[in-house]
Structure 1
Amino acid sequence: MRRSIEALFLTLLLLVLCATAGQAQAQIKLQIGSGTSAPAMDTATGASSSPASSNVVTTPRVRAELVALAPQGIEPGKTIDLGLLLDHQPDWHTYWVNPGDSGLPTQLQWQLPPSWDAGEIAWPTPHPIRIGSLVNYGYEGQVLLPVTVQIPSTFSADARDVTVRLHANWLICRVECIPEEGQFSLTIPTHSSTALLADAFAKARAQVPVALQGSSQASVDGETLKLRVSGLPVALQGQSLQVLSESPDTLHHAMEDGKDFQQQWEGADWTAVVPLSANRGQTPDDLPLVLTTNAHTAVDGAIGWRSVAPISGQWQAAAVAQVSHELAAALAKNAQSSAPTPPPASGSLWLAVLGALIGGLILNLMPCVFPILALKVLGFTAHGSQLREQRHAGLAYTAGVVLSFLALGALLLALRSAGQQLGWGFQLQSPLVIAALAALFTVIGLNLAGMFEFGNFVPSSLAGKQAKSPTTNAFLSGVLAVAIASPCTAPFMGASMGLAVSLPAAEALLVFAALGLGMAAPYLLASWIPAVVRWLPRPGAWMDTFRRAMAFPMFATVVWLVWVLGQQSGIDGAATLLALLVLLAALVWSLGLQGRARWGFAVLSLAGSLYLASAMGHNLTTPAPAPGQQASGALWQPWSEQKVSEINASGKPVFVDFTAAWCVTCQYNKRTTLSDSQVLAAFENKQVNLLRADWTRQDPAITQALNLLGRSGVPVYVLYAPGKPPQILSEVLSVKEVVDAVTKL
């Protein structure tokens, strides 16, 4: 039995470690545009790539997507269109090439195959956005910023597809301004048509100002500029026009027709006297202008007309041409709100360490850790009175736990510094990690149940080496315990983990080490105190019964993991995993047979597994509809930052349940306290709106909200009352705590 368990840890644990490492590597690669599907996020802005595709980045304010138009595929010497499609949330906007009185234009930095040449953004005609006395130029709703890409004649079209990458920066504003960015990657087929968004590109091109064939002139007259433009459509004659300069710091933006801005038609020529900007720079040789109607209605198929007017004369430059005071103030305010938390005082650090230590101790009580602790009980019994081996095993287990927590903490900190937005328990947000853990526990359960002995199909020399290394087994037990236990955020851990991710690296790792030490402490103490061992029964026949009984907690853990994966990938994903586990069990059983039947059944099981993985493996990673978007009844509604603000603005309180399917504490609270009749009655009496933020799969908006609350994992329960700061409740809820908090509203 010991030989089997030890060998299993050395081989099967690699599945979990490789899956977790692969997920982390994919997320790091995304930062340099590798084209993986792992989410990326900017820690200050909440920008995150969609889990389904790295050509999409979402934030609470905008959805950005890298799109392409190649109706004839990619042909040498021809062109294709790329673009950034921005879908703004209500009241939010981004900016034109000249943002106006405040703002910054969107910037695109391309990474294309050799000799591919990307042109400039073909800016659609913007519309003025008035904020108080300011006028900006930009876009609301949905806008596509198209770019023409020239394919060189030397391009070889032998490859089936081509990957293009983009790093985009944009400033998005409502009243406050928030700089955001995203890494995008898009694979375009070489020999087939890419024209799904042909209508969107056609609409964007129709909004690009049309180049005028006539002449334009501009002359400086004191603090104004006199303009004359010819060649405009006949249908425009007699209409009032808006004039926009593509060059910032030239014309005054907040001008009013008939006052400081005067215009008239002289036959087919449009003339105007426009005021110069108070922040104007040096006089350029010419001025690119865009003219449009006040209503932005199409005339002769266009809504804007572009002309470049040579400038005669010189204006006097302003003393300092600078970013507007309004933009500077907005950016400064945003920087303060998104700046890293200052290093805490030493007292706060040691409180965080103490909280992590206590949280680690309590973590041993979580049901997801129980199967691992059961294996350690078997280890204690096997050692009997061999105190030296017990102590070595205790130290090895502690080392495995502490080093694993340090590794997870370092990985989390590294990914965050690279721009990821992750929280504690992120590894169980990957369906592949879930599947690997389910396979691991299935095989361990089959071994404990007596279906097979690992030594029967492993060379005796290898099995012998494993049997002589109980210390290695203890160390791997600690690693596996952390892999399973880390998503279960125990009481006293929430604040410590939230603080840890904002600390300097050395101090943050100290908190993670304290968490690991707290979790390993009971076993470490027991291994060094002989009295604990004397309480255990002597080795005997009961051990075989106990061993087989321990298979059921393993299988129960598999049930939980399949359920978690079902929450992430839907019923098809759960069914696929179950089918693969059945074939895995058949493979393990066949390897324990004798004679030719052993290899016959083994080949059939392996072939079936490979076929199923190739045919249906995609079901494991295909996202199911977010739980918050499914029917959740009239009581609980899906969470969004905007919905919380809207409800509070109407004068009503909001209770938010930050939860995840893989969080056992969350499910316990959901089925007990949050379903209690007294709690529901208190919510109803105070007209509390109930929102559920489901973090089963990585959600950048939820991660950002948790960070703002000083938390890095779930569960988190928050009561938002109008005009009051958020009230965070305990991780393990009680009916009295919730009722008292709601009653005080």
Structure 2
Amino acid sequence: MTLPLSLAARARRLLFAALGGLALSLPVAAPAQNLGAIMNAAPAGVFQSDQTRAELLAHAPDGAGPGRTVWLGLRLDHAPHWHTYWKNPGDSGLPTELRWTLPEGVSAGEIHWPTPRKFPIGTLANYGYDGTVVLPVPLKVSDNFRGNALDVKLQASWLVCRQECIPEEASFSLSLPVQGGSAGHGDLFAAMREARPREQPAGASQLVPEDGFLRVALDGLPAAWRGRDLEFFPELGGVIEPGAAWTQAWDGARWTARVPLSPQRFDSPASMDLVVAPARPAGEGPGEPGARLAAVPVNGGWPAAAPLPTATVPDALQAALDANAARASAASPGGATPASALTLGAALLGALIGGLILNLMPCVFPVLAIKVTGFAQHGGDARAHRAHGLAYTAGVVLSFLALGGLLLALRAAGEQLGWGFQLQSPAVVAALATLFTLIGLNLAGLFEFGNVLPSRVATLQARHPTADAFLTGVLATAVASPCTAPFMGASLGLAIALPTPQALLIFGVLGLGMALPYLLASAVPAVARALPRPGPWMQRFKQFMAFPMFATVVWLLWVLGQQSGIDGAAALLMLLVALALAIWSLGLRGRGRVVMGGLSLAALLALALGIGPSVLRAPEEAAAARTDTGVAGLAWETWSPQRQAELLAQGRPVFVDFTAAWCVTCQYNKRTTLADERVLADAAGKNVALLRADWTRRDPTVTQALAGLGRNGVPVYALYKTGQPVQVLTEVLRVDEVRAALAAL
């Protein structure tokens, strides 16, 4: 006895409908401004967030041929009240970093930083830019360069701040013709050249350290500045107090100032590069063009630095900013994420191991029913096992490549997405719930596809068994991919920052790891011989396999309830009941099929039109933002960059649970390790604040925070403490691991 139709054949049409629904739902979910950026993107690409718009510009009026210099620039348009940072960010922040990938024979120079502005907040201050700024970089094309076009790739990262700070990054690419010029944006590049500080010889200028102060004396500054107040921008950070009050005066053509030294100073340079410019010019963008003096000598010895102060900063607003910047610096030292330290070889090994472990993750358990049924169907036929093993592996690997390619393409277009993004769409969750309901009803014996579909469609499985095995791999990937197994997190985080071919290689190896057990089992003849022969027992086994399918539907309904509220989940459940009635009616004979089938289909259509929209509707915001843990004074709060900054500014360590309702591993950890009384008692004893960052629906802020940790999926568990590097724990938490991390605070 054989099964009348494989699971993949039963799911074929609905699976493609679900994937099609995913493709259609993503643009609808994108913010309007992001869609505009995508549709109007320049060849270099455009990054768009609520805080900044970034674009890579080029200016090459004479072409990009050998021996020429080409100017590129990262343009940053800031939302009102937001700013990014100069090469020395001041009291807090991070400078914008540009990492180039260039063809052989082409080299990039340093950023030609425009004159910055000073952003004072309380007793502190930052140096940077608001409004619109372009950071120009010269590319030198050598005489031996060969090619018809100059292909440039840029990975840019920056920290954008207002009262809170958000790390952002984006990838850009350009292809510049060797013959023929590209004179666009000439006015903008000319304006940035004008905004750059003029190089000024140090001459008789000097710096003299004193007890607590740096005495500055500069000669040769523009005559038009005499009598005006100036701003003083040392290129070396941590030497002076940017926001402290200081005195200045003009002595003829010499400008003098007495600037407070930083008590936490860690450098004692023999000379300093610095920029001076007219103080507090009105407007946005770069500051008024200044003067740059290189290697101004330091005369005399530096006083000893004072010990770190124990008093807290009185200005709560700037304290939050400072703590946020410290967090971003710890998460991304030097502008690189923790994943950047991972080599490609290590990432591939991590992807392979992570894919193997993925088969043991809770979210993959329902898929095991499909695999076991496929094994049982072919009994001891070793040849059929090998063919289906190869087809299943191809389905898994190609599906991982397709999901990875779609993720990379959407991120390049400006979307803030991460791994598992497909289950952030309520439409996809509803489609998968419908698919698994139909599979479960068929396995339970409610209907046979041959009774409700034309015979030509119902017999496709017999003619194309390898296609069914391939689609089983596609279905397995659709359900399993939202999980992040151990070793996967760092590999996926690195993949997002790599060039497309290397990133796709990581996604492909991840799929190979997931399919490898099935592939090996299908290739070993002993496995096929050990399986029982087909017989009557398979009908009972088929009916039993319906229950894992229904369990998957329950999970998907719960996920939808987190996304669309209880009304959305109830609406989908009612639609599934109506669908089951319609399927049963179509299996009747004679007049009953016509009457009941017509009525049930009409009822299903009416319900779909009446209550269907509530399935996709976002729920109202919950009033409560805290969840008690049962330990006095300890509760889970809703995560936000602002709340995290406030807590760190108060001196409290912060534990962040990056989670999602569709991540079964997240829910397992939440109900085991994170609910353990010993863990909660240790957290309370260390005064640790507990924050939960929910990624169930698309949230660009959470996506950016994950990227700052070198991660691209959930679960992620991060422990922050001001002055210490951020600690990222494993995906499957253990009680002793969390307790050890808390004890080290």
What TM bracket, shorter-length normalisation? Answer: 0.5 to 0.7
Alignment counterpart, residue 13 of structure 2, candidates 5, 11, 14: 11
Q: Match for residue 611 of structure 2?
A: 616
Q: Residues 602, 525 of structure 1: CA spacing in aligned structure 2 closer, same or farther, 3 A cutoff?
A: same
Q: Match for residue 310 of structure 1?
A: none
Secondary structure in 2 matching 1:3: coil
Shift of 1:492: 1.2
Shift of 1:705: 0.8
Q: Match for residue 421 of structure 2?
A: 426
The one-letter code matched in structure 2 to 1:385 is: G
| 2:558 matches 1:563 | yes
| 2:392 matches 1:390 | no
Q: Residues 492, 677 of structure 1: CA spacing in aligned structure 2 closer, same or farther, 3 A cutoff?
A: same
Shift of 1:357: 0.6
| 2:457 matches 1:462 | yes
Q: Match for residue 238 of structure 1?
A: none
Q: Aligned partners of 2:623 and 2:698: how far apart in 1?
A: 13
- For 1:88-103, list aligned pairs within 5 A: none
Identity rate of aligned residues, in percent? Answer: 57
Shift of 1:423: 0.8
Q: Residues 134, 531 of structure 1: CA spacing in aligned structure 2 closer, same or farther, 3 A cutoff?
A: closer
Contact 2:380 2:532 in 1 (8 A): no
- For 1:544-555, list aligned pairs within 5 A: 544-555=539-550
Shift of 1:340: 7.1
Q: Aligned partners of 1:134 and 1:555: how far apart in 2?
A: 57
Q: Residues 564, 137 of structure 1: CA spacing in aligned structure 2 closer, same or farther, 3 A cutoff?
A: closer
Shift of 1:59: 8.3
Q: Residues 594, 133 of structure 1: CA spacing in aligned structure 2 closer, same or farther, 3 A cutoff?
A: closer
Contact 1:655 1:719 in 2 (8 A): yes
| 2:678 matches 1:683 | no
Secondary structure in 2 matching 1:632: strand
Please list every run of 5 or more consecutive structure 1 residues that lacks an aligned counterpart in the other structure.
37-41, 49-56, 61-83, 95-127, 140-169, 183-221, 226-255, 261-277, 281-288, 291-319, 327-332
Q: Aligned partners of 1:344 and 1:35: how far apart in 2?
A: 28
Q: Aligned partners of 1:343 and 1:644: how far apart in 2?
A: 22
- For 1:141-156, list aligned pairs within 5 A: none
What do the CA deviations read for 1:446-476 (whole angstroms, capped 9, x no partner)? 0000000001122222222322211011000
Q: Match for residue 446 of structure 2?
A: 451
Shift of 1:611: 2.2
Contact 1:402 1:517 in 2 (8 A): yes
Alignment counterpart, residue 375 of structure 1, candidates 360, 364, 370: 370
Shift of 1:172: 6.2
Q: Match for residue 357 of structure 1?
A: 352
- For 1:11-90, list aligned pairs within 5 A: 11-26=13-28, 33=35, 48=49, 57=50
Shift of 1:534: 2.0
Shift of 1:603: 2.4
| 2:491 matches 1:496 | yes
Contact 2:160 2:166 in 1 (8 A): yes
What do the CA deviations read for 1:251-287 (whole angstroms, capped 9, x no partner)? xxxxx9xx99xxxxxxxxxxxxxxxxx979xxxxxxx
Contact 1:584 1:609 in 2 (8 A): yes
Contact 2:582 2:601 in 1 (8 A): yes
| 2:509 matches 1:514 | yes
What do the CA deviations read for 1:322-355 (whole angstroms, capped 9, x no partner)? 48989xxxxxx99x9896769968x811111111
Secondary structure in 1 matching 2:5: helix
Q: Aligned partners of 1:176 and 1:369: how far apart in 2?
A: 38
Task: Name which of structure 1's ranges 517-526 and 640-649 shifts more when overlaid on structure 2.
Answer: 640-649
Task: Name which of structure 1's ranges 378-387 and 418-427 shifts more when overlaid on structure 2.
Answer: 378-387
Q: Aligned partners of 2:33 and 2:473: how far apart in 1?
A: 32
Q: Aligned partners of 1:338 and 1:563: how far apart in 2?
A: 41
The one-letter code matched in structure 2 to 1:641 is: P
What do the CA deviations read for 1:634-689 (whole angstroms, capped 9, x no partner)? 51111122222222222221111111111111111110111111111111111111
The one-letter code matched in structure 1 to 2:726 is: P
Secondary structure in 1 matching 2:691: strand
How many residue pairs get aligned? The number is: 522
Shift of 1:708: 0.6
Contact 2:653 2:720 in 1 (8 A): yes
Shift of 1:401: 0.1
Q: Match for residue 475 of structure 1?
A: 470
The one-letter code matched in structure 2 to 1:457 is: V
Q: Match for residue 601 of structure 2?
A: 606
Alignment counterpart, residue 410 of structure 2, candidates 398, 410, 415: 415
Shift of 1:181: 12
Q: Match for residue 732 of structure 1?
A: 732
Q: Aligned partners of 1:740 and 1:693: how far apart in 2?
A: 23
Q: Match for residue 643 of structure 2?
A: 643
Contact 2:7 2:472 in 1 (8 A): no
Q: Match for residue 398 of structure 2?
A: 403
Q: Aligned partners of 2:703 and 2:411: how far apart in 1?
A: 12
Shift of 1:384: 2.2
Q: Match for residue 708 of structure 1?
A: 708
Shift of 1:34: 6.1
Q: Residues 406, 340 of structure 1: CA spacing in aligned structure 2 closer, same or farther, 3 A cutoff?
A: farther
The one-letter code matched in structure 1 to 2:5 is: R
Contact 2:636 2:691 in 1 (8 A): yes
The one-letter code matched in structure 1 to 2:445 is: G
Q: Residues 485, 629 of structure 1: CA spacing in aligned structure 2 closer, same or farther, 3 A cutoff?
A: farther
- For 1:214-293, list aligned pairs within 5 A: 223=224
Q: Aligned partners of 2:343 and 2:167: how far apart in 1?
A: 31
Shift of 1:28: 7.8
Q: Residues 616, 137 of structure 1: CA spacing in aligned structure 2 closer, same or farther, 3 A cutoff?
A: same
Q: Match for residue 99 of structure 1?
A: none
Contact 1:654 1:688 in 2 (8 A): yes
Secondary structure in 1 matching 2:476: helix
Q: Aligned partners of 1:673 and 1:549: how far apart in 2?
A: 32
Contact 1:6 1:470 in 2 (8 A): no
Q: Aligned partners of 2:511 and 2:169: how far apart in 1?
A: 35
Please give the root-mean-square deviation of Cα atoms over the aligned residues, in Å: 4.5
Secondary structure in 2 matching 1:712: coil
Q: Residues 491, 434 of structure 1: CA spacing in aligned structure 2 closer, same or farther, 3 A cutoff?
A: same
Q: Match for residue 743 of structure 1?
A: 743
The one-letter code matched in structure 1 to 2:413 is: A
Contact 2:653 2:722 in 1 (8 A): yes
The one-letter code matched in structure 2 to 1:707 is: A
Q: Residues 130, 137 of structure 1: CA spacing in aligned structure 2 closer, same or farther, 3 A cutoff?
A: farther
Q: Residues 540, 593 of structure 1: CA spacing in aligned structure 2 closer, same or farther, 3 A cutoff?
A: same
Secondary structure in 2 matching 1:423: coil
What do the CA deviations read for 1:280-321 (whole angstroms, capped 9, x no partner)? 9xxxxxxxx99xxxxxxxxxxxxxxxxxxxxxxxxxxxxx97
Shift of 1:2: 3.8
Contact 1:93 1:174 in 2 (8 A): yes
Shift of 1:609: 2.4
| 2:653 matches 1:653 | yes
Q: Aligned partners of 1:730 and 1:649: how far apart in 2?
A: 26
Q: Aligned partners of 2:24 and 2:728: how far apart in 1?
A: 35
Scaled by the length of structure 2, the TM-score of the pair is: 0.62
Contact 2:339 2:490 in 1 (8 A): no
Q: Residues 25, 441 of structure 1: CA spacing in aligned structure 2 closer, same or farther, 3 A cutoff?
A: same
Q: Residues 570, 325 of structure 1: CA spacing in aligned structure 2 closer, same or farther, 3 A cutoff?
A: farther
Q: Residues 14, 179 of structure 1: CA spacing in aligned structure 2 closer, same or farther, 3 A cutoff?
A: closer
| 2:576 matches 1:581 | yes
Shift of 1:542: 1.4
Contact 1:28 1:418 in 2 (8 A): no
Secondary structure in 2 matching 1:424: coil
Shift of 1:741: 1.2
